[in-house]
Chains A and B, each alone.
Chain A
Amino acid sequence: MRPRSPQRASLLLRPGARATVGTLSVLLFIGLWQTVGGLALIDPRYISTPVDVVRAGVDLVRTEELWRHLRVSGAEFALGFVASLVVAVPLGLLAGWYRRLGYLVDPVLMTFYAMPRDAMLPLIIIWLGIGIYSRAAVVFLGAIFPIIVNTMAGIRKVEPVWIRCARSFGARERHLFWKILLPGALPYIMTGVRLGIGRGIIGVIVAEMYVSVEGLGELIMAAQAGLNTDRLVFVTLLVSALGFAALRLSLSLEEWSAPWQREREL
């Protein structure tokens, strides 16, 4: 980090400076947006204005349209994500613990991990139709690979000394698993969960935009088709806020699962 002299940096080092400056900068942005859109310096049909966005939001909430779509998206996400957890964690633990099994599945897993799996959407629609299951399947595919890969990595990175130590004190396989392997791998599993949540949310929205029957993605598509930019911006911002909340939540889950490990790759 940059070294600085204490007298010069004093203002920015005060407690609360970060929050104050951040809030001010967001308010400034909103003010600028309102001015540019309100005075029609840029056509508000393209960028909308904050006031109109809020109005569109109030409208959506009042007509209860929003809740219906939100519930659908939430259900799809929950279904797909829980399914991916249930499959990915045991699979990752097995492939991480049994070395040869790991070698066998590694290239296939890594290929799926590296590819944008949302591209399989057209196929999934053909297989599962346009109902909730195809959209949950996109979430499932998005989330499962980060969780498997990170769980495997977590098991492989458990200190061999701990395992040997537990064995020499007479720990059985069962104890070894519950007391050493699982807690040791937990921070990695949680990293996988965080990445999986991110991919899952993208999956829900992309699938709903593609199928366009119901859900937040459909709201976005409908707003676009009707050139309703106010509503379009509102729903996209709402989706972003949900994504942000989910990211924060999973970051604190991660910290809670491994308080000793504070630095991580994002």
Chain B
Amino acid sequence: MAAGAGAVAVRRARPSAAVRLYARYEPVVLGAAGVVLLFVLWEAAGALGVIDPRLFGQPSRLVPAAAGLWGAGVLQHHVSVTLTEFALGFTLAVLVGIPMGFLMGWYRGVEYVLEPFVWFLYSSPLVAFYPLFIVWFGIGMPTVVTIAFLLAVFPLLINTVTGVQHVEAALVRAARSFGARDLEIFLKVSLPASLPIVFAGLRLAVGRALVGVVVGEIFGATAGLGFAVRYWGGRLRIPEVFVFLTCIALLGVVLTQLIRLLEGRLLRWRHE
């Protein structure tokens, strides 16, 4: 029995190179297989008449649609409008949300005064305000950027407040007893120690800003990916709709990954 157990251990320790390679990349291989499977099933269901490709699209019909939109420059135009609006809304949210969050986390008075408004606006479906924004700012980029900004700023703010308030008291006391001033404590202790939670806020903010941009474009714009989905959807051009939806999905993935990359860079010191 001892020999048997040893044999098993040896076999486990030296799997063939191919198996080892597969084991290492199993998540990637299976993940790619999942995506391919989805597209194959979609194509087959359309070809076999399980679903009507005129209503539910078909991967093979997307390629010519995408090529047509690209050739006409329509695709690039809408993508660049959406990206610009996202960048503006998100940047504004960062510039307002993080400093305000630090203020609210640092000064109890500021926190108490602003708290009711922040929580109310955080939990409200701010998209509902878009008719007001159109009244105030008119149709187009300002309205879309405002919606994206408002959706993104509150999770950022709330996470920053939480981050500052949950810095370990012992760290602050230690810095204080070595004679650090408020500004030094802020820059050397509170700021770096609250970064992980601030980044959690940034991740949420990316997603919500994108929702704001796309939904804002659906209702209050004449350009951008959200507008394009509505426009082609209204004309029953399903392949074009899927092309733009794919762009939106890819944008979501790329932006989320970018923020994760940045997080990994800036928080390397913290790796357990």
Contacts and interface: CB of A to CB of B under 8 A. Distances in A.
Contacts, number: 203
Interface stretch (A64-72, A83-91, A107-115, A179-187): A107-115
A106 B31 contact: yes
A104 B30 contact: yes
A220 interface: yes
Contacts of A232: 131-132
A256 interface: no
Interface string A95-133: 000001001111110111011101111110111000000
Interface range for A: 35 or more
Given A3-B185, A122-B229, A122-B241, A239 B128 contact: yes
B173 A3 contact: yes
Contact of B207 (A22, A114, A205, A229): A114
Contacts of B232: 122
Main secondary structure of the interface of B (DSSP, over half): helix
B55 to A, nearest CB: 6
A3 to B, nearest CB: 6
Interface stretch (A54-62, A158-166, A240-248): A240-248
B38 A108 contact: yes
Contact of A240 (B55, B123, B185, B252): B123
B88 to A, nearest CB: 17
A206 B215 contact: yes
B132 to A, nearest CB: 6
Interface string B231-252: 0111010100100010011011
Interface in B127-157: 127-129, 131-132, 134-136, 155
Interface core residue of B31, B106, B117, B219 (most chain A CB under 10 Å): B31
A9 interface: yes
B62 interface: no
Nearest to B175: A3
Contact of B120 (A112, A240, A246): A240
B61 interface: no
A246 B211 contact: no
A149 B252 CA distance: 16
A2 interface: yes
A34 interface: no
Given A126-B233, A210-B218, A17 B127 contact: no
Nearest to A239: B128
A22 B56 contact: no
B60 to A, nearest CB: 18
Interface in A1-56: 1-3, 9, 12-13, 17-18, 21-23, 25-26, 29, 46
Contacts of B79: none
A176 interface: no
A235 B131 CA distance: 12
A236 B112 contact: no
Interface stretch (B2-10, B70-78, B89-97, B164-172): B164-172
B123 A111 contact: no
A233 interface: yes
Contact of A266 (B132, B159, B256): B159
Contacts of B31: 103-104, 106-107
A78 interface: no
B46 interface: no
A123 B253 contact: no
Contact of B124 (A12, A103, A220, A244): A244
Given A107-B31, A122-B241, A22 B115 contact: yes
A3 B176 contact: yes
Given A116-B215, A240-B123, A122 B230 contact: yes
A202 interface: yes
A222 B104 CA distance: 38
A116 B214 contact: yes
| Residue with the highest number of chain B CB atoms closer than 10 Å, among A104, A223, A224, A233 | A104
Interface of B: 26-27, 30-35, 37-38, 55-56, 105-109, 112-117, 119-125, 127-129, 131-132, 134-136, 155, 158-159, 162, 164-167, 169, 172-173, 176, 182, 185, 190, 197, 200-201, 204, 207, 210-211, 213-215, 218-219, 225-226, 229-230, 232-234, 236, 238, 241, 245, 248-249, 251-253, 255-256
12 contacts: A21-B112, A103-B30, A114-B256, A116-B248, A119-B245, A120-B229, A121-B229, A127-B56, A220-B131, A229-B135, A244-B124, A248-B123
The 3 closest A-B pairs by CB, nearest first: A122-B233, A240-B124, A224-B131
Given A103-B27, A120-B245, A126-B233, 8 more contacts: A22-B116, A116-B215, A116-B248, A119-B225, A243-B123, A244-B120, A263-B166, A265-B200
